C-alpha cells in the first residue's frame, strides 16, 4: 500500500517579514486616532519601543510581551466589533507596507502546492484581514479576552514569543499533517526561531541582531528587500528538490 504524501507548508511571520514596520505598533497608533485605544497605553508602547531601539531592552521576547500587555490595556473597555472593523480598514489604507517581494513569494509557494500559514505576534484583529487579503487561510495571532463584546484588558494568547509560536506550530502541524522537513519558514527575530529551527527550509528576513547571529551559525539564508529575495528562495528550494 502506497503511503500518502504529507502536506508541505510555508510558515510566515508578518511584521518585518512580509511587511515593513510593525503592525503591533502601528495598528494601536491608528486606533488612537480613531479614538478606539487608550492614549496612555500608546504612550507606554512608544516608551517601550524607544528603550528597545536604544538597546536598553535587548531581549525581544521581553519587549514583545510588554508591548502585548500594553495593547491589552489599550483595548480595555472598547467594543471588539469596532476594533475588528478598524482592523479591516487599516489594511485597506496601508497596502504600501508590503515588502516588494511579498506577493511574489507567496505566489511562488502557492504555485508549488504549499499551504500558506502565518504566525504573528500582532493583534488578530489586524492580522485576520491581512491574511484574508493575502490569501493565507491558516494563521494564528495574538488575541485578547472580550466579554459581552467588550475587551477586558487581558491577553488571551501572546503569539509574539518563542514558546507560543512553538506550540502554535505544533498544533498546525498536527491538524494539517504537515511534513516539517519539506516545509519552509520565514521570520525576522529570534522569537521566530521557534519556526525556523523546525522547518526544513528556514529563511531569516532582514533579521535583527540576534537572529542574524543564529542564522549565520546555522547557515540559514538571509534575504532582504533588495531585489534578490525571490531568486535566493528559488535557488534554495531547488537545492531541496522542491521545484
For the CA atoms of the chain, what is the radius of gyration?
18
Report pLDDT digits (tens) over 114-157.
Answer: 999 999 999 999 999 999 999 999 999 999 999 999 999 999 99
Measured CA to CA, the distance from residue 26 to residue 5 in angstroms comes to: 41
Class of the CATH-defined domain 9-239: alpha beta
Q: What is the pTM of this model?
A: 0.91
Find residue 79's DSSP bridge partners.
150
Burial of 139 (0-12, 13-18, 19+ CB in 10 A): buried
Model pLDDT, residue 5: 61
C-alpha cell read off for 242 = 522542491
Q: Looking at per-residue confidence, does 38 or 242 come out higher? A: 38
pLDDT digits (tens, 9 = 90+) for 66-102: 999 999 999 999 999 999 999 999 999 987 789 999 9
pLDDT of residue 137: 93
- Farthest CA pair distance, the chain: 63
DSSP E strands in the chain: the ranges are 9-12, 115-123, 138-147, 150-157, 184-187, 201-205, 222-223
Cβ contact 153:67 at 8 Å: no
What is the reported pLDDT for 56?
63
Average pLDDT of span 187-199: 93
Amino acid at each position: 500500500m502506497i503511503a500518502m504524501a504529507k502536506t508541505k507548508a510555508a510558515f510566515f511571520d508578518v511584521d518585518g517579514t512580509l511587511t515593513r514596520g510593525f503592525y503591533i505598533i502601528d495598528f494601536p497608533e491608528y486606533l488612537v486616532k480613531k479614538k478606539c485605544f487608550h492614549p496612555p497605553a500608546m504612550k507606554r508602547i512608544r516608551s517601550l519601543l524607544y528603550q528597545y531601539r536604544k538597546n536598553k531592552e535587548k531581549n525581544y521576547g521581553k519587549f514583545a510581551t510588554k508591548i502585548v500587555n500594553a495593547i491589552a490595556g489599550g483595548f480595555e473597555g472598547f467594543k471588539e466589533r469596532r476594533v475588528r472593523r478598524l482592523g479591516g480598514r487599516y489594511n485597506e489604507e496601508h497596502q504600501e507596507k508590503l515588502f516588494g517581494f511579498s506577493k511574489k513569494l507567496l505566489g511562488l509557494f502557492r504555485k508549488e502546492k504549499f499551504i500558506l500559514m502565518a504566525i504573528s505576534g500582532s493583534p488578530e484583529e489586524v492580522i485576520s484581514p491581512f491574511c484574508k487579503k493575502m490569501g493565507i487561510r491558516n494563521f494564528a495571532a495574538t488575541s485578547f479576552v472580550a466579554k459581552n463584546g467588550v475587551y477586558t484588558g487581558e491577553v488571551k494568547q501572546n503569539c509574539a514569543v518563542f514558546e507560543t509560536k512553538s506550540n502554535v506550530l505544533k498544533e498546525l502541524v498536527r491538524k494539517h499533517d504537515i511534513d516539517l522537513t519539506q516545509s519552509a519558514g520565514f521570520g525576522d527575530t529570534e522569537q521566530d526561531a521557534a519556526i525556523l529551527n523546525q522547518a526544513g527550509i528556514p529563511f531569516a528576513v532582514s533579521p535583527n541582531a540576534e537572529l542574524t547571529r543564529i542564522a549565520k551559525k546555522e547557515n540559514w539564508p538571509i534575504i532582504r528587500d533588495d531585489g534578490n529575495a525571490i531568486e535566493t528562495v528559488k535557488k534554495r528550494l531547488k537545492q531541496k528538490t522542491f521545484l
